[in-house]
Amino acid sequence: MSRLSWLSDSIREFFRKGDLLLLSLCLAASGFGLVLIFSATRYIGGYRNIIIQALAICLGVAVYILLSSVDIELFTEKSWKWMLAFNVVINGLILTPLGYEAGGNRSWLSIPGFPVNLQPGEIAKLTFVLLLAWQITRLQERGISRPSSVFQIAGHTLVMFGIIAVTSGDFGMGLTYLFIFVIMAWAGGVKKRWFLLAAVVCVVGAVVIWPRISHMYFAQRFAVVIDHLLGNPDTLYEQTQGAGWQQTRSILAIGSGGLTGMGYLNGVQTQSLYKQSLPARETDEIFAVCGEEFGLVGCVLLLLLLGAIILRCIWVARRACSPRSALIAMGYAGMLLAQVGVNVGMCLYVFPVVGLTLPFISYGGSSIVTMFAAMGVVSGIKMRSLPSWLRDRSHI
């Protein structure tokens, strides 16, 4: 009875103080995603994808409400060692027989008896942000821009990037972790000279190792985008029929949609029975589905919805009760911004195909539940934000 009482009290507290606006934005975006997924998978027949996505959204809402009632700072303080172990173990499971390859990457877990596959990299993003925020705030006490502090937080991030690269080869997911690190390090007060130094090291490193990796497929994906942007006629076949095939189909779909689109369920490539007509149309290329059937108007509406979610996270961060909570909210904002930017860039042929889904929109149970969970943490931060009178005095 006490547990039921605690649950009912938590739900009432959520509806009184929780971030209902953020939840509404998330539901609007995921609802738009359901509409696009139905169109993108109609050629397959059946409703399996829609049912799974709808169930994942329902589960995501429940997780959102649950995490809103959790004091995430206290939880991180007491459980950081377990979370660190969790990040390593869950990604390491990909190397076991549970590992499953889909979309060219062995980045999934297929658990016997479980109805859907899980993507460890998606799930571990949640705890990675919590751990990095905990680490940064502890290092701020002795100076976050000291070499030892910068090397510690950068080392943490590079270890996670390395684990993902070794276990799954999912560099798109790894790039998301790097972008989260950049946003949180910047918000945490790391001085600009470190970012400039990192940029120089990356450029020099790319120039040095490029001759050794240029034959690899993932490197060809980068090369074909550069050739496309520069208009290199010598690699035209590769740009359109080789490594750039998926992106060529994507920009053709977006371009054919014009201002208002071809109409729902009327997109030529979206409704084609030929799977390769628009590859990965329900996941990586779902933005192209929006462009073809809803046109520029639909794409702008979609981006406005996602932009509003990101801005809401930043708004919560600015009113957080502590630097750690602010960093967590900024980390999740950075996570969303990275995925939106990379996914849309892939569809517009200005960024290589790295297998990164569009948050709240693309098909994927792990992705949608993870996104709602992250926003539930942000809602919990909003519930514990500083009152306006105290927030104003904190700037004096």
DSSP string, 175-221: HHHHHHHHHHHHHTT--HHHHHHHHHHHHHHHHHHHHHHTTSHHHHH
Domain contains 119:
yes
* Structure confidence at residue 396 (pLDDT): 31
CA 98 to chain centre: 23
Residue 15 domain-assigned?
no
Q: Are 9 and 300 in contact (CB under 8 A)?
A: no
Strands (DSSP E) contained in the chain are: 99-102, 105-109
Other CB atoms within 10 A of residue 117 CB: 16
- Whether 340 is in a domain gets the answer yes
- Is 370 part of a structural domain of the chain? no
Interatomic CA distance for residues 97 and 101, integer angstroms: 11
Quick one: tokens of 251?
A: 């920009």
In a domain, 241, yes or no: yes
321 found inside a domain: yes
CA atoms of 253 and 185, how far apart (whole Å): 38
pTM beyond 0.85? yes
Domain that holds residue 337: 78-364
Judging by beta carbons within 10 Å of its beta carbon (0-12, 13-18, 19+), is residue 9 exposed, middle or buried? exposed
CA angle 357, 325, 387 (to 5 degrees): 125
Give me the DSSP letters along 84-142: HHHHHHHHHGGGSTTEEEETTEEEEE--TT-SS-B-HHHHHHHHHHHHHHHHHHHHHTT
Mean pLDDT of successive 10-residue segments in the chain (396 residues)?
64 82 96 96 88 94 91 88 90 84 73 77 92 93 90 93 86 89 93 92 84 73 85 79 86 92 92 85 93 96 97 94 93 95 93 89 91 95 69 42
Q: Establish if 215 belongs to a structural domain.
A: yes
Per-residue tokens: 313: 């996270």
Of the CA atoms within 13 Å of residue 351, those in its CB half-sphere come to 18
Is the CB of residue 342 less than 8 Å from the CB of residue 356? yes
Q: What integer pLDDT is reported at residue 218 of this predicted model?
A: 73
φ, ψ for residue 351, nearest 5 deg: -145, 145
User: Number of folded domains in the chain?
Assistant: 1
Residue 342: inside a domain, yes or no?
Answer: yes
> What pLDDT is stored for residue 393 in this prediction?
38
